[in-house]
Amino acid sequence: MKKIVIDSAVPYIRGVFEPWFKVEYVPCAAIDAAVVRDASALVIRTRTKCNAALLEGSAVEVIATATIGFDHIDMAWCRDHGIAAFNAPGCNADAVMEYVFAALNVFGRRKSLQGATLGVIGVGQVGHRVADMGRRRGFRVLENDPPLEAAGTSGREFVPLDYLLEHSDIVTIHIPLWPENRNFADTSFFEKMKPGAIFINASRGGIVDEEALLAARPKLDGLVVDVWKGEPNINPALLAAADIATPHIAGYSIVGKINGTMASVRRIGEHFGIPELANFKIEHSYKPYDIESYDIMADDAALRTAPARFEQLRTEYHLRG
């Protein structure tokens, strides 16, 4: 019987693989080369770095991450060594969108955002939901996504990045952490932003040059940070500078977790030709966050009270529900 290693924090998954695999549930911090050496498959989250150090000489055939992001997987190395690797695109997109508007609700109680321009950078699974909700809420929306624009198949209208930064009252980023996107929001980026704008990062910490952001902070009227460089050891200066700061939990709704788990199970099932897993579904009646009632400031307070507990806060949040 093949062995599968599963991050023990992945919810709604216990008992699913047992008819077909020897299953080991392991805390992410304990998933190491020795644990995975004789495993045929892994189900992980973003804290497990899947690279040569973990996988060299292992029996791993397939990796499924129950997350929208996949920058923790060395895709090129996996491809070169015959390991299939899959993420769960869109699994938590609604949750991230709702996080953004819960944050904007906080600013809206301080001053009116009526008629404001919302600039959305990256209009994939998350970004297009943010843009569409923005229009429904009465914002003028500007969108920037050069890869989608070049593809010419999205049916959306795009503007150059410089134009978006100059004209947006709110700028929110939703792009993947590809190597070319590291420090995407740099000194030049923030210099081009409209004075008095709100900046939101709920994508990946490495997208933003934190020192450039701190230098630009005086020109911004609002700053929301959910993702950080060097997690869980976050920049205390940035924590102090942010109006809203949370421990990388924007995508952690119950529905997002369910979707991530379903996608991972299906990918493993497809790879091994197991129809019961390839068609796996979790029946539920949950709804995503309620934008109006989600208390984002409670999560902010929890992080400020104990920033050294960043990882614990994130894990506790992930396991809610």
**Distance from chain centroid for Cα 103:** 16
Report yes or no on 283 lying in a domain.
no
Residue among 178, 177, 140, 136 at smallest CA distance from 159: 140
pLDDT at 175: 95
What integer best gives the mean pLDDT of the chain?
93
Where do we find the tokens 């791993």?
Answer: 60
The answer to whether 204 is a known catalytic residue is: yes
Paired sense of beta strands 198-201 and 170-173, if any: parallel
Could you report the per-residue pLDDT of 69-116, keeping only the tens digit for each? 788 999 999 999 999 999 988 788 888 999 999 999 999 999 999 999
Q: Active-site residue among 231, 270, 311, 316?
A: 231
Range of the domain at 216: 93-251+291-318
Q: Could you say which DSSP state residue 252 is in?
A: -
State pLDDT tens for residues 192-204: 999 999 999 999 9
Give per-residue pLDDT as tens, 271-292.
999 999 999 999 988 765 567 7
Q: What is the pLDDT of residue 294?
A: 82
Length of the chain, please?
Answer: 321
Does a structural domain hold residue 86? yes
- Are 134 and 61 found together in one domain? no
Indicate whether 82 and 181 sit together in one domain: no
Would you say 184 and 157 are in contact if contact means Cβ atoms under 8 Å apart? no
Q: Hey, what are 117's tokens?
A: 């321009």
User: Which contiguous run of DSSP H or E holds residue 224?
Assistant: strand 222-225
Give a yes or no: residue 285 inside a domain: no
pLDDT band, residue 321 (cuts 50/70/90): very low
Quick check: 320 pLDDT over 60?
Answer: no
Could you tell me if residue 286 is inside a domain? no
Q: What is the pLDDT of residues 118-169, one digit of tens each?
A: 999 999 999 999 999 999 999 999 999 999 999 988 889 999 999 999 999 9
Sign of the dihedral defined by the CA atoms of residues 130, 244, 301, 113, in that order: negative
Query: Active site residue: 45, 72, 129, 204, which one?
Result: 204
- Return the pLDDT at 109: 94
For residue range 25-72, what is the model confidence (pLDDT) as tens digits? 999 999 999 999 999 999 999 889 999 999 999 999 999 999 887 889
pLDDT in tens, 243-263: 999 999 998 777 888 889 999
Look at the chain and report how many structural domains it folds into: 2
- 51 with 181, same domain: the answer is no
Cβ within 8 Å of residue 75, ≥6 positions away: 85
CA dist list (Å): 251 to 75, 268, 288 = 23, 23, 10
Q: Is residue 169 part of a domain?
A: yes
Residue located via tokens 């991230």: 96
What would the 3-class secondary structure string for 130-163 be?
HHHHHHHCCCEEEEECHHHHHHCCCCCCCCCHHH
The identity of residue 301, as a single letter, is A
| Residue from 129, 174, 248, 314 carrying the catalytic annotation | 248
- 37 and 139 together in one domain: no
Largest CA distance in the chain: 61
125 with 48, same domain?
A: no
Say whether both 259 and 200 belong to one domain.
no
d(Cα 183, Cα 186) in Å, to the nearest integer? 6
* Rounded alpha-carbon distances, angstroms, from residue 203 to 66, 100, 106, 241: 16, 11, 20, 18
Q: Is 128 a catalytic residue?
A: no
Shared-domain flag, residues 306 and 162: yes
pTM above 0.75, yes or no: yes
Q: Is residue 284 part of a domain?
A: no
CATH of the domain at 58: 3.40.50.720
Same domain, 54 and 112: no
The answer to whether residues 271 and 41 touch, using CB atoms and an 8 Å cutoff, is: yes
The reply to whether 47 and 132 lie within a common domain is no
Q: Which of 9, 7, 15 is nearest to 31 (CA)?
A: 7
Q: Of 245, 197, 191, 237, whose CA–CA distance to 220 is shortest?
A: 197
Q: Are residues 98 and 158 in the same domain?
A: yes
**202 occurs within a structural domain:** yes
Q: Is residue 74 part of a domain?
A: yes
**Any idea of the CA torsion for 142, 145, 151, 153, to the nearest 10 degrees?**
-40
Pick from 195, 197, 199: which is nearest to 208 by CA? 199
**Same domain membership, residue 74 and residue 52:** yes
d(CA 271, CA 42): 12
| Residue 298 CB coordination number (10 Å) | 9
143 and 221 together in one domain: yes
